[in-house]
Amino acid sequence: MDLIKLLIVDDRPENIVALEALLKRDEIELITTTSPNEALRICWEQDIAIALIDVQMPEMDGFELVEILKSNPRTREMLVIFVTAISTETKYAVRGLSVGAVDYLYKPLDPYITSAKVDSFIQLVRYQREIKHKNEELESYQKELIKAKDLAIQGKQTKESFLANMSHEIRTPINGILGLIYLLQNSNLDDEQKRIIELLKDSSESLLGVINDILDFSKIEAGKFKIVRSETRIAHVVGSVTGLLKAKADEKGLLMKVVVEENVPPLVMADALRLNQILLNLLSNAIKFTEKGTISLFVKAPENKGNLTRLQFIVNDTGIGIPADKHDRIFEIFEQASENTGHVYGGTGLGLSIVKKLATLMGGEISVESQEGVGSSFTFANWFKVVTEDAGKVSVKSVSALEKFDNLNILVAEDNTISQFMIRKILAGWNIKADIVENGAQVLEKINQNRYDLILMDTYMPVMGGFEATRKIRTEMPEEVRSIPIISLSAAVLDEEKQEALDAGVNDVLSKPFDLNVLHEMIDRYIRKAD
């Protein structure tokens, strides 16, 4: 018999303990939390059938929590029972039922009534699941399903293996190309040469963008794409995206306009990387499909609920527009507004599909209004928790302004000759002496001969790979060698590959193509920690 997952949300641990003792059943898996935001994550990641939710909590009240759950298709069918001690007034029960709850209990709880009600809802869930299961059995031929499942597992494994190999084989040389571009940009060039280098950089980043689109879409499809929320400054995200694309708009003679309304909170909990990705795709498309006029980004906060705010990111353009019959289809994979769009304007047709999936994963929505020949307006809307305390600004130095180190010795394990040249030159510019080897076996030889402050270790190398070399260092070397900080230089895109690196014993993972600011910060952090 399948376990039914029951979630208890209450900001007072003693209440949770009491409910656990009361509701303990062999057929129930009890999951508890004192945080409404943690409850959201649990509900989106697990199959929660029933939730007992306290009404009065500090982060957000139970009504707000349930409204969010009921607005998301993944959690809409969850059975919710409110538990409260604030009042027995009818209006509170009515409000609870109106937001989607199936029952409303008052504290102090009557143990017999509470148990009986929960048991009845458990039985209801079982009936629903049994009916669904029988319907599925009636609609299938069992042998074909088993065969299809086996083929799907085999195809999934083949696809993941291909993604891992493609990531390494393509991202590694792109990392080398971008590194060489950086070196050239910091050399003496005339105006024409600078222009050529800029075009080369744009082309490399465009290629990287296509690869990232394909990899991101595959990860989303495989269910391996995670949303990670942290304190995010809206102005920083907007400034970063528009700053990155302003040059492209200027090249086409387009005016780029940004308006962040005054009531937009400066700091929210969000996945900054994915928010950046959504805006980057929407603004890039706007620039791509607009030949004259204005590209506008508006950020609005039309609605607030407690410490939650609903933000709208609206991207307007004066471009070619989208035919009315294509408004829905443009969010589908490989779909574009017309047959010749890809030939005329370029692109894979993946960008808006990824935007749609990212918006859904974040619990938000994406919509479009457009008139052919006039322009388009795309809106991404989502609820965000407002952060009241200012975390302070983090200054990011330009690569050319990064501080030099004090005569560090670093061992670099990298088998790609272009990457070797690029890394050696960059490290030398930071006053770092680098020894370069081509495989893990040579790493083991070198660390027995010389003292190093840190190791940069590639993942895939001939003779011995980075994971095996790291494990040997951590388990077989003398104590003073075992503790050397190791940063894995990885072209991996799958989370399990990054976890494998950490399990092998590396201190951190730096994905290729890597940001030189991040590399510098990692070296500085681990050197200071060692000191």
**Per the structure, how many domains does the chain have?**
4
Same domain assignment for residues 288 and 367? yes
Same domain assignment for residues 345 and 416? no
Same domain assignment for residues 274 and 345? yes
Domain for residue 398, yes or no? no
Q: How far apart are CA 267 and CA 16, in angstroms?
A: 32
Residue-wise pLDDT tens digits, 377-436: 999 999 999 998 644 444 444 445 678 898 899 999 998 887 888 888 889 989 999 999
Burial of 135 (0-12, 13-18, 19+ CB in 10 A): exposed
Same domain assignment for residues 31 and 54? yes
Residue-wise pLDDT tens digits, 71-112: 988 898 899 999 887 766 777 788 888 888 888 888 888 888
> Per mean pLDDT, which range of 137-151, 204-218, 223-237, 433-447 is the poorest?
204-218
Q: What is the DSSP letter of 324?
A: G
Q: How far apart are CA 375 and CA 321, in angstroms?
A: 4
pLDDT above 70 for 354: yes
Question: Quick one: pLDDT band at residue 347, thresholds 50, 70, 90?
Answer: very low
Same domain assignment for residues 261 and 369? yes
Q: What percent of the chain has pLDDT over 70?
A: 84
Average pLDDT, the chain: 83
Domain for residue 134, yes or no? no
Q: At how many degrees (to 10) do helices 13-23 and 111-138 cross?
A: 60
Question: Quick one: pLDDT band at residue 217, thresholds 50, 70, 90?
Answer: low
* Domain containing residue 168: 163-222
Which of residues 42 and 148 earns the better pLDDT score?
42
Q: How far apart are CA 384 and CA 387, in angstroms?
A: 9
- At which of 198, 222, 246 does a domain end? 222
- At which of 336, 355, 386 does a domain end? 386
- Identify the CA nearest to 15 among candidates 69, 43, 53, 47: 53
pLDDT at 206: 59
Question: Quick one: pLDDT band at residue 342, thresholds 50, 70, 90?
Answer: very low
Domain for residue 268, yes or no? yes
Cα-based distances in Å from 303 to 260, 270, 312, 383? 15, 17, 10, 9
Domain for residue 115, yes or no? no
pLDDT above 80 for 448: yes
456: domain CATH number?
3.40.50.2300
pLDDT above 80 for 52: yes
In the chain, the N- to C-terminal Cα span, in Å, equals: 56
pLDDT above 60 for 17: yes
Question: Quick one: pLDDT band at residue 214, thresholds 50, 70, 90?
Answer: low
Give the mean pLDDT of 126-134: 85
pLDDT above 60 for 340: no
- pTM of the full structure: 0.44
- Identify the CA nearest to 21 among candidates 34, 30, 12: 30
Domain for residue 438, yes or no? yes
Burial of 368 (0-12, 13-18, 19+ CB in 10 A): middle
Domain for residue 138, yes or no? no
